[in-house]
Amino acid sequence: MSRGAPKGVAVAPNLSKSKVMAYRQCPKRLWLEVHRPELREDSAGAQKLFKAGNRVGEVARRLYDRRGTGSLIDVSAEGYAGALERTKELLSRNGPIFEAGFSAAGVLAFADVLVRRRRAGSPAWHAIEVKSSSKVKPQHEEDLAVQAFAMRKAGLVPGGFAIAHVDTKWTYRGHEDYRGLLKEVDLTAGTKKRMKEVPQWVAGAAGVASARKEPAIGMGAHCAKPYACPFNGHCAESEPKTTYPVAWLPNVRTKALKAFIADARVRDVRQVPDDLLNERQLRVKQQTVLGRPFLDARAAAAVKADFRPARFLDFESVMFAVPIWPGTRPFQQILFQFSLHTVRPDGEVAHEEFLDLSGAEPSRPLAEALIRACGEKGTIYVYSASFEVTRIRELAARYRDLARPLKAILARIKDLRPVAENHYYHPAQQGSWSLKAVAPTVAPELDYDNLDGVADGGAAGEAYMEAIASGTTAARKADIERQLRMYCGRDTEALVLFWRRIKGD
Ligand code: SF4
């Protein structure tokens, strides 16, 4: 797992592997990490990834040390010099080493796992980097190449290099038995090949790190790939401002439009010729410039023939890199909450919901509650149906005795998102048809910014994890429960109001 300097530990003598990788993403990112670390803002998504990485790392140490003969080097406690010294000492023994440190030729790198394996008849150290991702990614080979370079320059030539990533096809059987969670992929050949490029990367990174001035690099696709850059906020402030940003145009896919926008001078939608835009993009441009909302009559027709009562459904889910419930897989979306608003034919609105914070696996109780709440009549409206449809299908496949009523629910689902995308737009959406962008344009009180605490799906999953954790106090759990109920209820309330708006009620 990648790491920077631990807090309270003297600054590393060489550039860490994560700094070299930051340089590979963007030289300005490296410069900011070295000179302006206080500007770093890790998104909630990034923090979630760190936590998942730590948990996978813990399990990996157990999996690669089944005899319990391994040693973990803790740079926070031992300091850089101590960690490097102890690595040398442990390399003369045979047990697995976790976080072995190597510092040479301008780079400092810590190996997640070093294990002795036989290769061509004789034992050799093998380096394995543990990743919480579900597959090998192009940047993993670069990461290993930097690792390999530091090791080789420090005097160790490992026999092989691999990535161990989470296997999403594996199912947890319980009893803390995580054999099979990680899938090891040998990248020895690719790592050795890429290692030749490392001296150039290290020299480039060292030059940027020692520069006095922030590199003049504009924002672009590199800010999100391969990782969401934590300096987005800082860099966005210095980007040229425009009243109607071209980034508001949705689904820019055609070659001609992409090429036109890639021209650095094109920043405003007004600069884009109409004939390069599809119907939806043109609507965004026109309504944005006019400053007026758009709702066409076909919207009402799209929901006119639907069945009553009208029901509005939304789910919240959680996923674990390391599953906690038997029968579940890594990164499986597990539903723990739903909100269902029902508008009866007389206009009366009822609300039902399900939320299980007991810590027991919530899937089956949720499926049963969903069947009861949805009844047998009425269209069930959702927003971006693929999520709800996939989750209900999974429940039907898992609980065969509930398959028939769950499939009956599936047959009644109708997606309001295409209706919104094709027939509704408000300039305040700024090119987005997410429910969070649409809702406040229908009713200002539906603004998700005024929610206390949980205000998006990712935060809902995080709050759920906190609520079921053993150390969470009853008071905190009660507060999380209140926030989750408010948030999920807000989604279906927004659907009701949007549906009424397009019907002209
Ligand atoms: S936000 Fe983009 S331009 Fe700024 S440092 Fe990060 S990657 Fe570089």
Whether 71 lines ligand 1, by a CB cut-off of 6 Å, is no
pLDDT of residue 303: 87
The answer to whether the CB of 218 falls within 8 A of the CB of 239 is yes
* Spacing, Cα 25 to ligand 1 middle (Å): 8
Query: What's the gap in Å between 230 CA and the centre of ligand 1?
Result: 8
How far is Cα of residue 373 from the mean position of the Cα atoms in its chain? 31
* Inter-residue contact 402 to 368 (CB < 8 Å): yes
pLDDT at 146: 97
Res 365: pLDDT: 98
Name the residue among 79, 81, 99, 80 with its Cα closest to residue 90.
Answer: 99
Q: For residue 345, count CB atoms less than 10 angstroms from its CB and return exposed for 0-12, middle for 13-18, buried for 19 or more.
A: exposed
The mean pLDDT value for 6-35 works out to: 84
d(CA 120, CA 360): 49
Of residues 298 and 370, which shows the higher confidence score? 370
In this structure, what token pair is assigned to residue 379? 């269209």
Residues 416/417/421/427 CA torsion (nearest 10 deg): 100
More reliable by pLDDT, 415 or 300: 415
How many angstroms separate the alpha carbon of residue 214 from the centre of ligand 1? 11
Question: What DSSP character marks residue 239?
Answer: S
pLDDT band at 306 (very low <50, low <70, confident <90, very high): confident
% helix, strand, coil for the chain, step of 5: 50, 15, 35
Residue nearest ligand 1's atom 3 by CA: 219
Q: Which atom of ligand 1 is nearest to the CA of 235?
A: 4
Structure token pair of residue 425? 């737009």
At which residue do the structure tokens 């997410």 appear? 434
Q: Which residues of 423-449 are buried (b: 16+ CB within 10 A; e: fewer)?
A: bbbbbebebebebbbbbbbbeeebebe
pLDDT at residue 297, as a whole number: 84
For residue 121, the model assigns a pLDDT of 74
Kindly give the number of the ligand 1 atom that is closest to the alpha carbon of 25: 7
**pLDDT of res. 13:** 62
pLDDT at 503 over 50: yes
Cα 361 to Cα 90, 155, 327, 335, 504, distances in angstroms: 42, 49, 10, 9, 42
DSSP category for residue 416: S
Question: Is 22 close to ligand 1, i.e. is its CB under 6 Å away?
Answer: no
Q: Whole-angstrom Cα distance, residue 334 to residue 306?
A: 30
- Identify which has the larger pLDDT, 482 or 123: 482
State yes or no: cis peptide before 273, omega within 30 of 0: no
Q: Does ligand 1 come within 6 angstroms of the Cβ of 125?
A: no
pLDDT of residue 209: 96
Handedness of CA 375, 389, 451, 467 (dihedral sign): positive
| Candidate from 222, 227, 235, 239 with most ligand 1 atoms within 8 A of CB, to mutate | 235
Please write the tens of the pLDDT for every residue from 40-83: 999 888 898 999 999 999 999 999 999 999 999 999 999 999 99
pLDDT, one tens digit per residue, over 436-461 is 999 999 998 988 988 989 999 999 99
Q: Are 396 and 405 in contact (CB under 8 A)?
A: no
Which residue puts its alpha carbon closest to atom 4 of ligand 1?
235
Q: Enumerate long-range contacts of 366-372, CB under 8 Å, 24 or more apart.
A: 366/335, 366/336, 366/337, 366/338, 366/395, 367/395, 367/399, 367/402, 367/406, 368/402, 369/338, 370/338, 370/340, 370/395, 370/406, 370/409, 371/402, 371/405, 371/406, 371/409
Question: Does the Cβ of 383 fall within 6 Å of ligand 1?
Answer: no
Q: From atom 1 of ligand 1, which residue's Cα is the shortest distance away? A: 232
pLDDT digits (tens, 9 = 90+) for 462-491: 999 999 999 999 999 999 999 999 999 999
| Cα 49 to middle of ligand 1, angstroms | 19
Is 80 exceeded by the pLDDT of residue 154? yes
Residue ID of nearest Cα to ligand 1 atom 2: 223
Helices (H), 120-197: 138-154, 188-195
For residue 53, give the amino acid letter. Answer: G
pLDDT attached to residue 1:
53
Could you tell me what percent of the chain has a pLDDT over 90?
A: 86
Ligand 1 geometric centre to CA of 234 (Å): 8
For the residues 301-311, what does the mean pLDDT come to? Answer: 87
Give me ligand 1 centre to Cα 31, in Å: 10
Q: How remote is the CA of residue 219 from the centroid of ligand 1, in Å?
A: 6
Query: What are the backbone angles phi and psi of residue 181, rounded to the nearest 5°?
Result: -60, -40
pLDDT score, position 2? 46
Is the CB of residue 467 less than 8 Å from the CB of residue 477? Answer: yes
Sign of CA dihedral 331, 250, 26, 260: positive
pLDDT at 413: 97
Average pLDDT over residues 227-235: 95
CB of 24 sitting under 6 A from ligand 1:
no
Contact 426/441 with Cβ under 8 angstroms? yes
Ligand 1 centroid to 379 CA: how many Å?
46
pLDDT at 8: 47
Tokens of 373: 């709440």
Q: From ligand 1's centre to the CA of 150, what distance in Å? A: 26
Residue 55 has a pLDDT of 96
